[in-house]
Amino acid sequence: MNSERIKARFGSYHVLVLHQDAASRLASLCSRHDDTDICRTLAVTRFASPTPATLAEADALIRKGDSIGSTLELAGQHLSREIIAEARV
């Protein structure tokens, strides 16, 4: 899971939701260093509509800003993702 890789490599992890509406979410998956957030992954999520009843609780947590991967894993779900760009500065 991406959140676990960020935490293992950089020592911290949190989600900073940059924009969210009913259909999508743009979030920075960050580590924190010297009181500064550093974006490690910029994640674009498209929410399922309608939300499957079995995922209603997980969906509510995700829309409140929780980590998608961790939340779905706790709900017993498998997450797949598509990397569309990767860069190092």
Is residue 86 a part of any domain in this protein?
no
Single-letter residue type at 11: G
* Residue pLDDT, tens place only, 29-86: 999 999 999 999 999 999 989 999 999 999 999 999 998 888 999 999 887 777 777 7
For residue 84, which of 43, 48, 55 has the smallest C-alpha distance? 43
Is residue 46 a part of any domain in this protein?
yes
Is residue 49 a part of any domain in this protein?
yes
Is residue 83 a part of any domain in this protein?
no
pLDDT for position 3:
84
Q: How many domains does the chain have?
A: 1
Residue 72: phi, psi to the nearest 5? -70, -35
Peptide bond into 50 cis (omega under 30): yes
